[in-house]
Amino acid sequence: MANTNSDPKLASDGGQLIPAEVQANIRHHDTDPLTQDVAVPGTTVDDEGLINNFATEPKVYPSKYPSPRQQRRYILLGSAAVLLVAFLVWISFSVS
C-alpha cells in the first residue's frame, strides 16, 4: 500500500532540492545568490546557483627598461651566478 500523506505540514516546498552550495551562500549573505554580483573575479553563478571558476587574465602593460643602476646589479648577480656554477662544476670534477 502506497504511503500518501495529505497533511500540508509534511508536504515538500522544494527547499530540499536546492544544492548545498546555494543554501550555504544564502545563509552567509542573507540574499538570493542568483541575483547578487559575484565578488570574486573570474567566477560566475549559473541558473542553479553553482559557481564556475575561470582563469583571470592579468592586465597587460609595457615593461620599463631597467635603469643603469639595475643593469649593473643584473650584471653583478649574473656574474656571481656564473662563478657559483663554475665553482660547483670544478668541485664535482675534482671529487670524482
Q: Where are the domains of the chain?
A: 16-53
pLDDT of the residue at 65: 93
pLDDT of the residue at 33: 46
pLDDT of the residue at 12: 65
pLDDT of the residue at 54: 73
For each of the chain's 96 residues, which pLDDT tens digit applies?
A: 555 556 666 666 665 666 666 656 655 555 554 555 555 666 777 777 677 777 777 889 998 999 999 999 999 999 999 999 999 999 999 998
Instruction: Dump the DSSP string for 16-79.
Output: GGS-HHHHHHHHHHSS-TTTSPP-STTEEE-TTS-EEE-PPPPPP-PPPPPPHHHHHHHHHHHH
Tell me the C-alpha distance between 78 and 82, whole Å: 6
